[in-house]
Amino acid sequence: MSHRSAVTAALVVLALLVGGRWMMGRDPAETVAQQRLGVGPAPAASPAPPPPEASPTPSSSPAPTVTRTPKKPSGPRSTIGPLGTKRTTGTKRVALTFDDGPHPEWTPKILDQLRAARVRATFCLVGTEVRKYPALVARIVREGHTLCNHTWHHELDLGTKPPAEIKANLEATNREIRKAVPGAKIKFFRHPGGKWTPAAIAVARDLGMISLDWDVDPQDWAKPGAKAVHDRVIGAVRPGSIVLLHDGGGDRSGTLGACPAVLRDLKRRYGITLLR
Ligand SMILES: [Zn+2]
């Protein structure tokens, strides 16, 4: 019996360590996000926005520390953020979003990978890029992905402007998307940098769009390399997560390099769903 007890004890310790590591993967990220709130330009009306996707803050993985923090309750998370944005899928399956495109080099390669993995995603499009590369928007739609309005020119401060200006911006973007794909369904809006304001969310709602947030941000825009992008996604993801990645706005070779393993691992662990 003593041998069996020892084995049991070893298993318990192992379980604690594994549990601790799993917790660690996301808690420091959340802490970093919270710390950013104090120094970032987030509006006061926004109690818990995600970290800005285009923040100049240098990204660095928080040093892991082994803790024995008891596991948090694993009940269902709210799909709706504090300001009314959609933050999770509402199911176990996770969703992928690609921002700042379309881009002539990276978007086709991302689309190739999604097609190979039989995965569909949401593309948050910038109006000026849509105007330059309408054929890519057509391909995104043809291959069954979902569209999201990401403003006309990635205006980080759009949400602070008068509602009429926000409306004109989002309408111009939707118009450009529908020039590329007549009748295209644009169900979502994502504010650049996640700098949500009640005004921006309300205007988007009036235009029939849900404000689409995220809860996993590997900061691929800062080009940390494919391995870091993969490890950050897998370390932070939870059931129902919405993952923020970028197919535009710069050199996305790291994101592209991370994609095969990210797609494989997310499919295996959670399944990948399409937001629509
Ligand atoms: Zn963006």
CA distance 97 to 123: 6
Provide the residue-wise pLDDT of the chain in tens; the chain has 276 residues. Answer: 445 555 555 544 444 444 433 333 333 333 333 333 333 333 333 344 444 444 333 334 444 444 444 444 455 578 998 899 999 999 999 999 999 999 999 999 999 999 999 999 999 999 999 999 999 999 999 999 999 999 999 999 999 999 999 999 999 999 999 999 999 999 999 999 999 999 999 999 999 999 999 999 999 999 999 999 999 999 999 999 999 999 999 999 999 999 999 999 999 999 999 998
DSSP calls for 104-169:
TTHHHHHHHHHHHHT---EEEE-HHHHHH-HHHHHHHHHTTPEEEE--SS--TTGGGS-HHHHHHH
Residue position matching structure tokens 């995965």: 119
pLDDT for the residue numbered 82: 86
Q: How far is the CA of 159 from the centre of ligand 1 (A)?
A: 14
Q: Is the distance from CB of 147 to CB of 185 less than 8 angstroms?
A: yes
Pairing of strands 95-101, 242-246: parallel
CA distance 165 to 27: 38
Taking the CB of residue 205, how many other CB atoms lie within 10 A of it?
A: 13
Q: How far is the CA of 153 from the centre of ligand 1 (A)?
A: 10
pLDDT for the residue numbered 5: 55
Q: How far is the CA of 156 from the centre of ligand 1 (A)?
A: 8
Residue 246 appears among annotated catalytic residues:
yes
Residue 26 DSSP class: T
Q: Identify the active-site residue in 100, 231, 246, 247.
A: 246
Q: How far is the CA of 193 from the centre of ligand 1 (A)?
A: 6
The number of angstroms, rounded, from the C-alpha of 61 to the middle of its chain's C-alpha atoms is 17
Q: How far is the CA of 62 from the centre of ligand 1 (A)?
A: 23
Q: Identify the active-site residue in 99, 217, 220, 231.
A: 99
Residue 150 appears among annotated catalytic residues:
no
Q: How far is the CA of 126 from the centre of ligand 1 (A)?
A: 8
Closest CA to 123 of 77, 49, 181, 44: 181
pLDDT for the residue numbered 276: 87
Q: How far is the CA of 72 from the centre of ligand 1 (A)?
A: 31
| Phi-psi label, residue 26: left if phi above 0, alpha if psi -120 to 50, beta otherwise | alpha
Q: How far is the CA of 273 from the centre of ligand 1 (A)?
A: 21
Strand order in the sheet with 186-189: 210-211, 186-189, 146-149, 122-125, 95-101, 242-246
Q: How far is the CA of 116 from the centre of ligand 1 (A)?
A: 25
- Helix/strand/coil for 264: helix
pLDDT for the residue numbered 113: 98
Q: How many CA atoms lie within 13 A of 91 on its CB side?
A: 9
Domain 80-276 has CATH 3.40.50.180: no
